[in-house]
């Protein structure tokens, strides 16, 4: 579900920034650089989501297990770190098609886009 959200956000972002992407291409930005911009945007979005989810999950698990007598909460830090890294990888995968679409925009059509 979150990957669909990232893809949807990227597609919308690219659509809204078509003229900006056209301007970048007009001043010499390569297709590779455009793809890199979109990929980093996706990775940052995914990592923010992963870190926020992990942080809230840890916080809420502490809050909800505190009243339980004799319960010892174990927080699997290596697993959490692995899942946050996995969210970054998922962001890269989610960005493949939107990045390709952004990089292939025709410069003249993108500049004329409103």
Cα–Cα distance for residue pair 91/80, rounded to 1 Å: 17
Q: For residue 38, how far is the Cα from the chain centroid? A: 9
Q: How far apart are CA 2 and CA 15, in angstroms?
A: 20
pLDDT tens digits, one per residue of 28-43: 999 999 999 999 999 9
What is residue 7's predicted lDDT score, i.e. its pLDDT? 86
Q: What is the mean pLDDT of the chain?
A: 90
For 48-98, write each residue's pLDDT tens digit: 999 999 999 999 999 998 888 888 889 999 999 999 999 999 999 989 999
Please tell me the predicted confidence (pLDDT) of residue 9. 86
Per-residue pLDDT at 114: 67
Question: What is the token pair recorded at 80?
Answer: 């959490």
């Amino acid at each position: 579900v979150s990957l669909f959200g990232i893809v949807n956000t990227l597609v919308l972002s690219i659509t809204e920034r078509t003229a900006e992407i056209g301007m970048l291409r007009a001043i010499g930005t390569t297709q590779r650089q455009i793809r890199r911009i979109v990929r980093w945007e996706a990775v940052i979005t995914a990592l923010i989501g992963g870190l926020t989810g992990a942080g809230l999950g840890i916080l809420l698990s502490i809050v909800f297990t505190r009243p339980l007598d004799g319960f010892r909460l174990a927080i699997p830090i290596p697993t959490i770190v692995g899942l946050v890294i996995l969210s970054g990888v998922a962001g890269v995968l989610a960005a493949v098609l939107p990045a390709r679409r952004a990089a292939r925009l025709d410069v003249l059509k993108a500049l004329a886009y409103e």
